[in-house]
């Protein structure tokens, strides 16, 4: 093989390898490059350790991710959730912060509701349940304030 052909084959092989690596990084890392789906917001009094990128689940099935966390009005945590496009979240939906296992990761659990009205892109989940802080509950129990 001539030197020019060999360099071309090696270059194509390297490009193919880098493309495969990028594909695996995006899909195994659950990154969303083009941001499909729709966004809704929810405000919580306390999110206690929830991170950007945390799972959003309905009935134990992952249907989205936490896209951003900011301090909103009234010193509440404002979450932006990116949900799958086919999900129909009702107006009376409830968002809760939960923990997987005793010392597991935090995630957002959605109860979809039964209302006729659907929350559209950019809408807000009105009913939320903040995270349970075990340290605070144990402290109240120990000091007899339960």
**Contact, 97 vs 106, CB < 8 A?**
yes
Q: Which residues contact 57 (CB under 8 A, 6 or more apart)?
A: 63, 107, 108, 109, 110
pTM recorded for the entire structure: 0.67
Report pLDDT for 15: 93
Q: What is the pLDDT of residue 6?
A: 85
User: DSSP letter string over 28-67?
Assistant: HTT--SS--SEEEEEEES--TT--TT-EEEETTEEEEEEE
Which stretch of 5-9, 10-14, 25-29, 44-48 has the lowest confidence by average pLDDT?
A: 25-29
When pLDDT is averaged across residues 8-35 and rounded to a whole number, the result is: 78
How high is the mean pLDDT of the chain?
82
Rounded mean pLDDT of 111-115? 82
């Amino acid at each position: 093989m001539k030197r020019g052909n060999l360099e071309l084959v090696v270059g194509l092989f390297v490009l193919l390898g880098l493309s495969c690596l990028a594909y695996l990084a995006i899909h195994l890392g659950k990154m969303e490059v083009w941001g499909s789906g729709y966004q809704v917001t929810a405000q919580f009094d306390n999110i206690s350790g929830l991170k950007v990128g945390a799972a959003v689940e309905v009935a134990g099935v992952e249907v989205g991710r936490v896209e951003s966390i900011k301090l909103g009005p009234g010193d509440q945590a404002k979450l932006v959730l990116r949900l799958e496009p086919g999900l129909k979240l009702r107006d009376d939906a409830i968002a809760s912060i939960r923990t997987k296992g005793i010392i597991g990761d935090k995630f957002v659990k959605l109860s979809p509701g039964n209302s006729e009205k659907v929350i559209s892109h950019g809408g807000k989940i009105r009913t939320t349940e903040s995270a349970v802080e075990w340290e605070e509950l144990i402290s109240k129990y120990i000091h007899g304030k339960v």
